[in-house]
Chains A and B, each alone.
Chain A
Amino acid sequence: MGLALLSAAISGIIFGIGLALAGMLNPAKVAGFLDIFGLWDPSLMLVMAGGIAVNAAGYFLFLRSGKPLFASSFSLPEARQIDKKLIIGSVLFGVGWGLAGLCPGPVVASIGLDPLSILPFLAVMLAGLKLGVIIRTRI
C-alpha cells in the first residue's frame, strides 16, 4: 500500500515536471501548436514523440506479461469499438482544448502555480466531467 502510493506520487511529480518543461502549462504555446493556419509552433509534436517513444518502449519490453509491482493485475481499457461516444466526446474536448489551450493534466499541474485563475476552471471542468460520466451511460 505504502509503496504503491509512493510510486503513484513519484509518477505524478515526474509527469508535472515533464509538462512544465515541455511547455504544456502555457496555453499560448498549446494554441500555437493548434494554429496550423497561422504561425505554427510544432513543439507539441516533440512532446508526443518523446512521450510515446519512452512509454511504448517500456510497455512492449516489460509490461505485456506478468503483473504490476504493487497491484494484482494490469487495468487496461477493454473497449475496442470506434463508437459515436468516442468521436462526439473527442470533438467536444478538442474544441475546449483549442479555446482555452488547457487540457486536464496541465490544469492540475497549474493548481499550485496560479490557484486563483486555475481553481475556478478546475471546478467547471470537474462539473463537466461528472455530467459527462452521466451522459455517457445514456447515449
Chain B
Amino acid sequence: MTINWTEFTPLMSFLGGVLIGAAAFILMLTKGRIMGVSGILAGLLPPNSSFELFWRLAFIAGIIAGPLLLTRFGLYNIEAVAVAEGGILYLAALLVGLGTAIGSGCTSGHGICGLSRLSVRSMMAVATFVLAGVLAVFVMRHLM
C-alpha cells in the first residue's frame, strides 16, 4: 500500500465530514429521520404518500443547492473527474440503485447514520460495500 500524499486532503475532508454529520443530526433532531439518500430518493418514487413527499423534496433541493452556492459565489472550486463512461457507467448506476434498495442503505444511511448509532447491520453493510468497491477498483485498474 502506497499513500497518495499529493491527493490526500485531510483537513477539507474532515471539515466536509463534520458538515455531513451536522446535516444528519439536524434532520434527525427536526424530522426524526435518518439522513439516508437512497431511502429518501426511493420514497419519492411512485407510489408514495404526498404528506411524506414534501420534506424529501425540500431535502433533495437543499442538496442540489449547496454545491451551487459554493460555486456561484466562487467560494470553492469543485473538482470532478469521471472514472467510467458508456456501458460501464450505466451498469454502475443500475447497481448503485439496485444495491442500495436491496441492502436498505448507502454511504450516508449506513455509513454515517448507521455507524453513528452503532448499528451492527450498518457495520456489516459498510464493511461489505467498501470491500466490494475495493475489489471493483482492483479489477478495473490492475487486472484489465
Contacts and interface: CB of A to CB of B under 8 A. Distances in A.
A80 B100 CA distance: 17
B75 to A, nearest CB: 9
Interface of B: 1-4, 7-10, 12-35, 37-38, 41-42, 45, 54-56, 58-71, 76, 78-84, 88-104, 106-108, 110-121, 124-126, 128-138, 140-142
A116 interface: no
Interface of A: 1, 3-29, 31-32, 34-44, 46-56, 58-59, 62-63, 67-71, 73-77, 79-82, 85-105, 107-114, 117, 120-122, 124-133, 135-136, 139
Given A11-B30, A59-B28, A77-B104, A109 B17 contact: no
B94 A125 contact: yes
A16, A31, A40 interface centre (most CB from chain B within 10 Å): A16
Given A14-B66, A21-B19, 9 more contacts: A18-B66, A40-B4, A46-B13, A52-B116, A54-B17, A71-B33, A86-B128, A98-B133, A128-B95
Q: Is the interface of A mostly helix, strand, loop or mixed?
A: helix
